[in-house]
Amino acid sequence: MIGTLDAKIPSGPLDRKWQSHRDHSRLVSPNNRRKFEIIVVGSGLAGGSAAATLGELGYRVKCFCFQDSPRRAHSIAAQGGINAAKNYQNDGDSVYRLFYDTIKGGDFRSREANVYRLAEVSNLIIDQCVEQGVPFAREYGGLLANRSFGGAQVSRTFYARGQTGQQLLLGCYQALCRQIAAGTVQMFPQTEMLDIVVVDGHAKGIITRNLLTGKIDKYPADAVVLATGGYGNAFYLSTNARGCNVTATYRAYKKGALFANPCFTQIHPTCIPQSGDYQSKLTLMSESLRNDGRVWVPKRKEDCQKPPDQLPEQDRDYYLERKYPSFGNLAPRDISSRAAKEVCDEGRGVGPSGRGVYLDFADAIKRLGEDTIRERYGNLFEIYLKITGENAYKMPMRIYPAVHYTMGGLWVDYNLMSNLPGLHVIGEANFSDHGANRLGASALMQGLADGYFILPYTLPNYLAGQMGKRPSTDHAEFKKAETDVRAKIDNILRVNGNRSLDSIHRELGALLWNKCGMARNAEGLREALAKIPELRDEFWRTVRVPGKGQDFNQSLERAGRVADFLEFAELMCIDALERDESCGGHFREEHQTPDGEALRDDDNFATVFAWEFQGNGQIAAPKLHREPLHFETVHLAQRSYK
């Protein structure tokens, strides 16, 4: 039974909370650290940095990922950059301003204390990564370069061309490898966590499947850390890597961990438009491009089929610059995405499907020269050319919003611990810092803040009281969890139907996109809630998964993930229906300002929604817990980027 949710936010002034918390947290002495075993599931930027740091501190770490190498975590795809409040540009940035931009960007639906801490540690991340040798872009004189991202009027984004995630991950991977060589971290690639094990109310282990051999294993631990990324692929089409999924966090939810704000999804405005029904993935064109690219559509519907270079200036609508003059093309993602949808809904979209807007570099090339643009974004232009066959140096890119990131995740307190003692959740897998809309370049900041600088301080606080409490795998809970995992696999293989997995997942994705995507309303959400169980039923009657369990079987891997999406989708829609307001990326059509902006209802919804699984193995209406958000420093206001 879960009582009142306690976020464990330290008392005292906002800018002293983190220091004071560290001063008073419990510690584990160096000689005792090697007596603790920590499981870290995930080796992207969040998990990799946590595993490396905990290993360096002397804990014994087991780190798991489903890819063949930690270097292939989805974090590698991050393009544009990572924020920090260094104020190298001397343009007015500060820790407070990064904090404020992030809280406002999230439409006042995140905790002040967490976000302030994130802004505070942001500068340490840059120092750490530079010392690892991450090749951030530099100015002519050698100083680190910065650019701007949406929702900010300063330049605070550090970057390595359009490959920032890759370079950061290589730095993190080196740190991880050092610990692997030192014997403090044991790496388990191609191993999927399929359940967590809860003993006496604490998370004390996991059940895994070796993806090469199909072998099911049990691992005990003193604490479990989930760093398993986001669930954008519930929508089938997204900018996420194909492997991203909700399985680890959803199965933890079914074991009692609360899932917070599952309907908060980020739709990114600058992706290459979908080109066909059988496409399996969408591609991001980094937000950094909006530093130099100008977004427009024709003013008149009749002009939409004309080549862009035949439309003179007076016939173009630079709608972001027109509607949001102070932020212009760098308006935040939720707002820019909705603006693109609006012009396309009006019939002014471009490209074959009519669901596209232009991102035009002609002015920037005239002003700065093609070489400078190539230097800044060359690899993105190359990706665009390979996918569309169009040269964006010569004609504008066509872009359209797509699912990109999930702000929802497992509920955690200030220590990044879920309501299940011992289960810590970091990176995109938790819900903590971005409220209802994440600002660009803040996910990498959060993942690395959690892994390098926050969890290593907060985990000992839990571990200090856990000496000698690690259970053996003979414990009945391990046996039960293993039996359940095996039964689920057998059930999937037993269906032996004739419908392809992809066709079911695609149908679920289209339903979510239409009813719980960029715009939602109560009627549509109710429709989705009626259809999802039917689709789930269809899966369990008709899905075809060839091969067997005791073998390398990618269809089986994916089937397990799709089965979880088919349950989780319902939770997303329940959450979206219950939150009867608009905020950030959660745009309920019933609640909008006369200008069509999101209309919050702070009196009733300035809270985190945290859902408790009630099904005891079945899917039943989850129970809602509310964590009220208290704002002591910022003033709640209608978000404006005008």
Note whether 585 binds ligand FAD by CB under 6 A. Answer: no
Neighbouring CB atoms inside 10 A of 576's CB total 29
Binding-site string for ligand FAD from residue 279 to residue 308, where x marks contact by CB under 6 A and - marks none: -----x-x----------------------
Distances (CA, A) of 413 to 4, 46, 374, 395, 488: 12, 17, 44, 48, 31
Which listed residue (405, 431, 453, 641) binds ligand FAD by CB under 6 A? 405
Note whether 270 binds ligand FAD by CB under 6 A. Answer: no
Of 247 and 419, nearer to ligand FAD (C-beta) is 247
Q: Minimum CB separation from ligand FAD for residue 445, in Å? A: 6
* 3-class SS shares of the chain: helix, strand, coil, % to 5: 40, 15, 40
Dihedral angle at the C-alpha atoms of 121, 123, 127, 133, nearest 10 degrees? Answer: 100
Measured distance CA(512)–CA(514) in Å, rounded: 5
Of 285 and 339, nearer to ligand FAD (C-beta) is 285
Which listed residue (122, 239, 415, 461) binds ligand FAD by CB under 6 A? 239
The phi, psi pair for 326, rounded to 5°, reads -75, -35
Of 203 and 443, nearer to ligand FAD (C-beta) is 443
Note whether 376 binds ligand FAD by CB under 6 A. Answer: no
Distances (CA, A) of 557 to 93, 113, 244, 436: 46, 39, 12, 31
Of 85 and 441, nearer to ligand FAD (C-beta) is 441
Note whether 164 binds ligand FAD by CB under 6 A. Answer: yes
DSSP character for 395?
Answer: S
Per the residue annotation, which of 333, 338, 536, 561 is the catalytic one? 333
Of 230 and 298, nearer to ligand FAD (C-beta) is 230
Note whether 45 binds ligand FAD by CB under 6 A. Answer: yes
Note whether 583 binds ligand FAD by CB under 6 A. Answer: no
CA atoms within 13 A on the CB side of 154: 23
Using the rule CB under 6 A, give the single segment among 75-83, 392-400, 589-597, 624-632 that binds ligand FAD. 75-83
Using the rule CB under 6 A, give the single segment among 225-233, 507-515, 566-574, 591-599 that binds ligand FAD. 225-233
Give the residue nearest to ligand FAD (CB): 44
Q: Are 297 and 350 in contact (CB under 8 A)?
A: yes
Binding-site string for ligand FAD from residue 108 to residue 147, where x marks contact by CB under 6 A and - marks none: ----------------------------------------
Note whether 81 binds ligand FAD by CB under 6 A. Answer: yes
Q: 310: which 2 tokens?
A: 């035949």
Note whether 82 binds ligand FAD by CB under 6 A. Answer: yes
Measured distance CA(179)–CA(396) in Å, rounded: 47
- Terminal alpha carbon distance of the chain: 46
The phi, psi pair for 199, rounded to 5°, reads -120, 125
Measured distance CA(409)–CA(370) in Å, rounded: 42
Measured distance CA(425)–CA(72) in Å, rounded: 20
Which listed residue (21, 28, 33, 42) binds ligand FAD by CB under 6 A? 42
Note whether 428 binds ligand FAD by CB under 6 A. Answer: yes
Of 243 and 524, nearer to ligand FAD (C-beta) is 243
Which listed residue (229, 298, 456, 471) binds ligand FAD by CB under 6 A? 229
Measured distance CA(264)–CA(585) in Å, rounded: 6
Neighbouring CB atoms inside 10 A of 605's CB total 21
- Provide the β-strand partners of residue 330: none
Q: Minimum CB separation from ligand FAD for residue 440, in Å? A: 6
* 161 tagged catalytic: no
Note whether 74 binds ligand FAD by CB under 6 A. Answer: yes
Q: Are 317 and 348 in contact (CB under 8 A)?
A: yes
CB within 8 A of 381, min separation 6: which ones?
373, 374, 391, 392, 393
The phi, psi pair for 65, rounded to 5°, reads -150, 160
Q: Are 295 and 308 in contact (CB under 8 A)?
A: no
Q: Minimum CB separation from ligand FAD for residue 441, in Å? A: 4
Note whether 196 binds ligand FAD by CB under 6 A. Answer: no
Note whether 43 binds ligand FAD by CB under 6 A. Answer: yes
Q: Minimum CB separation from ligand FAD for residue 404, in Å? A: 6
Note whether 78 binds ligand FAD by CB under 6 A. Answer: yes
Instruction: Just list the catalytic residues.
Output: 333
Q: Applying CB under 6 A, which residues contact ligand FAD?
A: 41-47, 64-67, 73-75, 77-82, 164-165, 192-193, 227-230, 239-240, 244, 247-248, 284, 286, 404-405, 427-429, 441-444, 447
